[in-house]
Amino acid sequence: MRVLGIDPGLTRCGLGVVDGVPGRPPTLVAVGVARTPPDLDTARRLVRLEAEIEIWISTHRPDAVAVERVFAQHNVQTVMGTAQAAGVAMLVAARHGYPVALHTPSEVKAAITGSGRAGKDQVGSMVTRILRLDAPPKPADAADALALAICHVWRGGAQNRLQDAIDRQRQVDRTTQGVRAR
């Protein structure tokens, strides 16, 4: 199973791809960061980000895309940009028909380090160990994207398979209703 993890952001958007199966150490495929210039207006930054994510998706053809779930926090201005970057990531993945999963930061930390309250450094060093890298990926956004992808592999994409089953059932129900209505 190949997963593209996306740690959304306008200034730095972490992107990480791993191959793996639940319960075993996955392998690194690619890791990087997409940046958009802070002096561009938000709309044009979103266009640049869309183009970058398109390249990652078409290059690596993942089985699923995992995006960090964004919460409103202290820095309201930043969080809006992050939410919009996450929206663009979800949009691009869904447009290509890929399953999209959202994981919260604490779900990711818990999956990787065993604690939902682990710090950035701890996540970085566990990612380094799990993927047998020489050094932690820099910047932290790149390591976070890999952590997301690993978390999703280890959870076996279960969240999606369940959601897909629900969606398929709904589709069947609707078709049946449509037939009945005629």
Active site residues: 7, 68, 141
Sheet bearing 100-103, strands edge to edge: 27-34, 13-19, 2-7, 64-68, 100-103
Residue 129 CB, shortest distance to its own copies, in Å, is: 31
User: Residue 40 gets which letter from DSSP?
Assistant: S
Q: Which is nearer to its own copies, 42 or 115 (CB)?
A: 42
Q: Which is nearer to its own copies, 44 or 138 (CB)?
A: 44
Q: Which of 1, 91, 110, 133 contacts its own copies by CB under 8 A?
A: 91
Q: Which is nearer to its own copies, 70 or 151 (CB)?
A: 70
Sequence-distant contacts of 40-45: CB under 8 A, at least 24 apart: 42/10, 42/81, 42/84, 45/10, 45/81
Asked if 134 interacts with its own copies (CB under 8 A), we say no
3-state secondary structure of 120: helix
Asked if 47 interacts with its own copies (CB under 8 A), we say yes
Check the CA dihedral 96-148-13-135 and report its sign: negative
Strand 13-19 versus strand 2-7 pairing type? antiparallel
Q: Where does this chain touch its own copies (CB under 8 A) — which range of 14-22, 44-52, 103-111, 118-126? A: 44-52
Asked if 86 interacts with its own copies (CB under 8 A), we say yes
Q: What are the residues facing 27 on neighbouring strands?
A: 19
Asked if 95 interacts with its own copies (CB under 8 A), we say yes
Q: Where does this chain touch its own copies (CB under 8 A) — which range of 17-25, 33-41, 120-128, 131-139? A: 33-41
Q: Is 7 annotated as a binding residue?
A: yes
Q: What are the residues facing 32 on neighbouring strands?
A: 15
Asked if 79 interacts with its own copies (CB under 8 A), we say yes
* Feature table: binding site for Mg(2+): 7, 68, 141
